Chains A and B, each alone.
Chain A
Amino acid sequence: MVVLSSPLWARGFWIDFLQGRAESNLLSRDPERSLKWLAYAQILDDQNARTRILLARAYRKSHDMEQAYAALKNYYELAGSTDEFQQEQWLLKAQIGDNSDLQRHLSEMLIEPAGSIQDICETYVNSCILNYQFNDALQILDLWEADFPDDPLPNFMRGRMYEHKLAWQEAIDEYQTTLKKDPGYAPAAYSLGRIQLTLKKTEQALVFYRRAIDSTENQAPAKVGVARCLRLLNRNEEAKQLLREVLALSNEQLQAEYQAMGDHKFEALTAAHLAMGNLELADKNYDAALKWLEPAAETNPMDLGIKNSLALVYSRLGRKTEAKALSHEIKETNDALAEIQQLLDQVQLKPNDAELRFQIGRMYLKYVSKEQGIVWLNSVLLYQPDHAGAHRELARYYEDNLSRGESFQRLAKLHRKQADALQATPKPAPSSTGNRDD
């Protein structure tokens, strides 16, 4: 390797070069390639603070929060609490939903950014979406687009937000604008395919999925979309063939490809399985369906669609006890979802109500999404830092996931300590809502 065989005197030059390539890849939103450059830089100098902060940023952009935290900690040990450290820390917190620091310091960060303004905006918008702060996200996106009119990402992110709100036409318009700015922007074509399929416009969905396939090496998500379309066109065998191709990929590859399209890792590990399972179910091949659905349910035990298909397969195979157990979970989850919707309506009227946020967080954590649950529970502490229930639930969550890294261990300790302290000193009867005065 050229880099490794370079003379020692040129080491500084090569590290600068590698860091520059890594930064360039980060700007073009390719964190995986950035990580490769940084790995070379680490070989040359394992104690380089700049490499560490870039590593933290690259890991954050590739959604590997444990590694990002570790790299940032390592940077702190090398360089101390610099402005760059603080900014990266706020961005890291925001990426997992706690955007309080980022909100507080956003103006100054954008005036004097330590990294890329686009990165700051993107992270902020993502955190707003996680926190249902759509207006704030939209405001930043408008400003971002005004300053970087050729950047397709503000339109793409606006599209994601509208899609999240089921505002299909607005989402379609934004994705179309994204494609006008960058005709090869595969995530936009993929998203358009997904919306068209949701709207049952199978032929149009096929066109966009095929465009996504033509625009990217990360073809697995769009291939699953094509398979779903083919099923609706009664072309089940072709659909199965396509899914077999996807299912032959490694989990790591699938995760990378789905993340590149903007999807969650659970989607990567279950989408093709569920599609194949449903095809076999429709064809009355129940044993074959089971083969795909059981692993999918294990990977994403909260997915209602998977649970439902699996319950049907168990029932048809005469495994009624298992089917009934799943049916109870489905019923319970649907009841919870209905209740969550009502709580979300209430929290819209009373955004400072910590108790409402706690109930939402607990229900999300149990029934819908661990990540969403954690975001809501963290938001409780924003409004009422001494909320014992929120600390208890967070402690339990991090304790159950200690193996996920040092940050989880630290947060488990932190919340357990707070929960125990609050339990030991019972407070006077709480006010009706537990609101924070602000």
Chain B
Amino acid sequence: MFCAGLCLCVSGCQSETAETEQQAKERAAIEPSDTGIRPEFVDLWPEQKSEFVYRNGRDAKELAILETLGGGTAVFDYDRDGELDLFYTGGGTFEGQTTRGYPSILLRQEGEWKFRDRTGQAGMELAAFYSNGCSAGDYDNDGFQDLIVTGYGGSIFWRNMGDGTFEETSVEAGLRDCFWGSSAGWGDLNGDGLLDLYLAQYADWSFENHPECQLTPGVPDVCSPHSFKGVRDLVFYNRGDGTFYDASDEAGLVPEGKGLGVIMADLDNDNDLDVYVCNDAVENFLYLNDGRGKLEEVGIINGAAVDDRATPNGSMGVDILDYNLDGLPDLWVANYEKEAFALYRNDGEAQFLHISNDTGVTSIGSLFVGFGTVCADFDLDGDEDVFVVNGHVAYYSLNSPFRQKPLYLENRGGRFAQIQYDESSYLGQSHTGRGLALADFNDDGKLDLAVSNFSDPPAILRNTTQAEGNWIFVRLIGARSNRDAVGARLVLHTSSGDQARQVKGGGSYLSSGDLRVHWGIPEGVTVDSLTVYWPSGIQQEVKSLQLNATNLLEEPVSIGADLSSGNP
């Protein structure tokens, strides 16, 4: 029998390389919070009665990789009425071998969780490009945050006129030109007190470079990033006269990555703004700043470019947190399926170590395709947890579904456990998550979220957690530093130890959030004082802070100030 069968089988010998994808049957643990408090969120988007949806042009059947990125959201108080407002990018489509943009939407909060479409009144109906991301920042230090909208073929820069309207000044400001901008971050890279702009760029897709691809054998689908070359990121330095110049060479940007996410923060505690860029399927970038805007890329030698097997991941969303309360900002990165989400421990001087295995992060399995992500103390228990929105890029994937549930990881003394939700919760349902921004829309100290899905309506997630702790918000107003105070480091001194935070530029994915800095203060813990390290170098000690309120702090005028500040 053996030999007879063999004679048939040896007649041909064909090489093959295809890998049959095998879905690992992984099950994440269902565990309650260690405090017994379960973080809960309710989606209030349906109450807004809005028809807005981010559209990616899938119905044009081009199967272009441009369809995969999705859109972002920005949370900012554009009219300074004290209520946080929302902006969502609109996306685009394909017509006759060209791309066309869809309008974005500006939603003004008019109290009690009511958001009204004010796009037209604000003069923001222009849809010049297929849009992806957005980021708010006060580039001219006039107290009104401006907005960059990124996308394929160019950026749109909206200058906030301070009267509830915006003026489109992309060309005049020198911010129009780019190939394909994804995430953008505002921050003062060269220490002149003005916000500069870091624009991550993705890949060299065009209709002239538009191969046919299959991610599942036999089924046409969008291409993977491996089919394209990356495009070099851009840095624009602010001249202070309303214009920017391309400083990519001056800053020392390295050749192309495949940029999807970017965060700007002081990662080595040397009082200047560093940059971390999430790249898709190639090494992530870690740029350390010399304080004058010269960036040195040290991703690999500083341990933040690849995973623990030295493999580059498909990295999308990013945030910083101090998961182990050692005062050093650690990096959190949302990655593609079959890869672990990455937690890089900061061992000092921005030397990072991939420790997802050691901290329970990998126990969630590897089915998620993670995008927007934020780290914050949602349950007021004194440490930062992790929230990620997920969704697949492939329309037809064998490994994990197109729509995926969001992920909540509870920090338990430096190890992370997944909290599971039932189907009645937004977190127990599957979505096409992309953009994500942090906010506290109703000033109750419990952090809410704005989510941008694609092809599905967005979400406004109200935090309804029955948390028993207190909280503190601090809003910094820079004087010598940039007015948004991006790059400031704040250390809250409490009876249970110090807790460090930063005012970050960029972060998450295609999105930007509330600039206020938040701490949860567990019951029984008292707040002693706050130290603020301003980007200008000024160090400020604040002795008195009001609990359960937003504390507004203006930058003192002299170095070494030891000032107490009450509320305005």
Query: Contacting chain A: which of B114-122, B124-132, B168-176, B347-355?
Result: B347-355
Partner of A307, one of B17, B21, B310: B310
Is chain B's binding surface mostly helix, strand, loop or mixed?
Answer: loop
Chain A residues near B347: list those with CB within 8 A. Answer: 284, 316
Partner of B10, one of A103, A165, A168, A199: A103
Chain A residues near B22: list those with CB within 8 A. Answer: 162, 165-170
A307 to B282, CA, bound (A): 17
Q: Is A132 an interface residue (CB 8 A)?
A: yes
Q: Are B13 and A107 in contact (CB under 8 A)?
A: no
Chain B residues near A282: list those with CB within 8 A. Answer: 353, 355, 358
Which residue of chain A is the closest to B303 with respect to CB atoms? A312
**Given A136-B13, A316-B347, A316-B351 in contact, is the A330-B300 Cβ separation under 8 Å?**
yes
A110 to B310, CA, bound (A): 44
A296 to B312, CA, bound (A): 22
Q: Is B18 an interface residue (CB 8 A)?
A: yes
Chain B residues near A128: list those with CB within 8 A. Answer: 13
Chain A residues near B424: list those with CB within 8 A. Answer: none
Q: Is B557 an interface residue (CB 8 A)?
A: no
Q: Are A165 and B19 in contact (CB under 8 A)?
A: yes
Query: Contacting chain B: which of A7-15, A140-148, A180-188, A401-409?
Result: A140-148
Q: Are A311 and B300 in contact (CB under 8 A)?
A: yes
Chain A residues near B283: list those with CB within 8 A. Answer: 331, 334
How far is the CB of A96 from the nearest CB of chain B, in Å?
17
Chain B residues near A232: list those with CB within 8 A. Answer: 357-358
Residues B245-287 near A (CB distance < 8 A)? 281-283
Q: How many A-B residue pairs have CB under 8 A?
A: 140
**Given A334-B283, A344-B17 in contact, is the A234-B358 Cβ separation under 8 Å?**
yes
Q: Are B362 and A200 in contact (CB under 8 A)?
A: yes
Q: Is B568 an interface residue (CB 8 A)?
A: no
User: How many residues of chain A have a CB within 8 Å of chain B?
Assistant: 60
Q: Is A323 an interface residue (CB 8 A)?
A: yes
Q: Is A384 an interface residue (CB 8 A)?
A: no
A135 to B11, CA, bound (A): 12
Chain A residues near B358: list those with CB within 8 A. Answer: 231-232, 234, 282
Which residue of chain A is the closest to B27 with respect to CB atoms? A201
Residues A338-363 near B (CB distance < 8 A)? 338, 341-342, 344-345, 347-348, 351
Q: Is A111 an interface residue (CB 8 A)?
A: yes
Residues A113-139 near B (CB distance < 8 A)? 117, 128, 131-136, 139
A11 to B366, CA, bound (A): 63
Q: Is A216 an interface residue (CB 8 A)?
A: no
A351 to B2, CA, bound (A): 28
Chain A residues near B357: list those with CB within 8 A. Answer: 200, 231-232
Q: Is B30 an interface residue (CB 8 A)?
A: no
Chain B residues near A106: list those with CB within 8 A. Answer: 6, 10
Residues A141-168 near B (CB distance < 8 A)? 143-144, 146-147, 162, 165-168
How far is the CB of B62 from the nearest CB of chain A, in Å?
22
Q: Are B13 and A103 in contact (CB under 8 A)?
A: yes
Question: CB-CB contacts of B1-15 with A at 8 A, as 1s and 0s?
Answer: 111011101100111
Q: Are A305 and B7 in contact (CB under 8 A)?
A: no
A351 to B9, CA, bound (A): 18
Chain A residues near B226: list those with CB within 8 A. Answer: 338, 341-342
Q: Are A348 and B15 in contact (CB under 8 A)?
A: yes
Chain B residues near A136: list those with CB within 8 A. Answer: 9-10, 13-14
Partner of B301, one of A135, A166, A327: A327
Residues B1-46 near A (CB distance < 8 A)? 1-3, 5-7, 9-10, 13-26
Q: Are A351 and B14 in contact (CB under 8 A)?
A: yes
A16 to B503, CA, bound (A): 83
How far is the CB of B281 from the nearest CB of chain A, in Å?
7
Partner of B1, one of A117, A147, A316: A147
Q: Are B3 and A134 in contact (CB under 8 A)?
A: no
Partner of B16, one of A103, A133, A231, A305: A133
Chain A residues near B363: list those with CB within 8 A. Answer: 200
Question: CB-CB contacts of A164-198 with B at 8 A, as 1s and 0s?
Answer: 01111110000000000000000000000000000
Q: Is B311 an interface residue (CB 8 A)?
A: yes
A165 to B21, CA, bound (A): 8
Residues A374-413 near B (CB distance < 8 A)? none
Interface-central residue, B22, B298, B340, B363, by most chain A CB under 10 Å: B22
Q: Is A271 an interface residue (CB 8 A)?
A: no
Chain A residues near B310: list those with CB within 8 A. Answer: 304-305, 307-308, 330, 334
A144 to B2, CA, bound (A): 7
**Given A135-B16, A147-B1, A338-B226 in contact, is the A327-B300 Cβ separation under 8 Å?**
yes
Q: Are B353 and A167 in contact (CB under 8 A)?
A: no
Chain B residues near A312: list those with CB within 8 A. Answer: 301-303, 351, 353
Interface-central residue, B16, B25, B226, B300, by most chain A CB under 10 Å: B300
Chain A residues near B235: list those with CB within 8 A. Answer: none
Chain B residues near A199: list those with CB within 8 A. Answer: 24, 26
Chain B residues near A134: list those with CB within 8 A. Answer: 16
Q: Are B311 and A334 in contact (CB under 8 A)?
A: yes
Q: Is A324 an interface residue (CB 8 A)?
A: yes
A323 to B5, CA, bound (A): 56
How far is the CB of B418 from the nearest CB of chain A, in Å?
12
Q: Are A133 and B303 in contact (CB under 8 A)?
A: no
Q: Is A281 an interface residue (CB 8 A)?
A: yes
A351 to B355, CA, bound (A): 41
How far is the CB of A16 from the nearest CB of chain B, in Å?
29
Chain B residues near A135: list those with CB within 8 A. Answer: 14, 16
Q: Is B49 an interface residue (CB 8 A)?
A: no
Q: Is B61 an interface residue (CB 8 A)?
A: no
Q: Is B386 an interface residue (CB 8 A)?
A: no
Q: Is A315 an interface residue (CB 8 A)?
A: yes
Q: Is B447 an interface residue (CB 8 A)?
A: no
Question: CB-CB contacts of B308-338 with A at 8 A, as 1s and 0s?
Answer: 1111100000000000000000000000000
Partner of B20, one of A167, A200, A305, A323: A167
Q: Is B306 an interface residue (CB 8 A)?
A: yes
Chain B residues near A330: list those with CB within 8 A. Answer: 300, 306, 310
Q: Are A311 and B301 in contact (CB under 8 A)?
A: yes
**Given A147-B1, A199-B26, A282-B353 in contact, is the A132-B309 Cβ separation under 8 Å?**
no
Q: Is A417 an interface residue (CB 8 A)?
A: no
How far is the CB of A112 from the nearest CB of chain B, in Å?
9
How far is the CB of A330 from the nearest CB of chain B, in Å?
6
Chain B residues near A338: list those with CB within 8 A. Answer: 226, 281-282
How far is the CB of A353 from the nearest CB of chain B, in Å?
10
A312 to B308, CA, bound (A): 11
Chain A residues near B18: list those with CB within 8 A. Answer: 348
Q: Is A314 an interface residue (CB 8 A)?
A: yes
Chain A residues near B6: list those with CB within 8 A. Answer: 106-107, 110, 140, 143
Q: Are A143 and B9 in contact (CB under 8 A)?
A: yes
4 additional A-B residue pairs with CB within 8 Å, beyond A167-B22, A320-B301: A107-B10, A136-B10, A136-B14, A330-B310
8 sampled A-B residue pairs with Cβ under 8 A: A110-B3, A146-B2, A169-B22, A308-B309, A311-B301, A312-B303, A330-B310, A338-B281
Interface residues, chain B, CB within 8 Å of chain A? Answer: 1-3, 5-7, 9-10, 13-26, 226, 281-283, 298, 300-303, 306, 308-312, 340, 347, 351, 353, 355, 357-358, 362-363, 365-366
| 6 A-B pairs with least C-beta separation | A327-B300, A308-B310, A147-B2, A167-B22, A304-B310, A200-B362
Interface residues, chain A, CB within 8 Å of chain B? Answer: 103, 106-107, 110-111, 117, 128, 131-136, 139-140, 143-144, 146-147, 162, 165-170, 199-200, 231-232, 234, 278, 281-282, 284, 304-305, 307-308, 311-312, 314-316, 320, 323-324, 326-327, 330-331, 334, 338, 341-342, 344-345, 347-348, 351
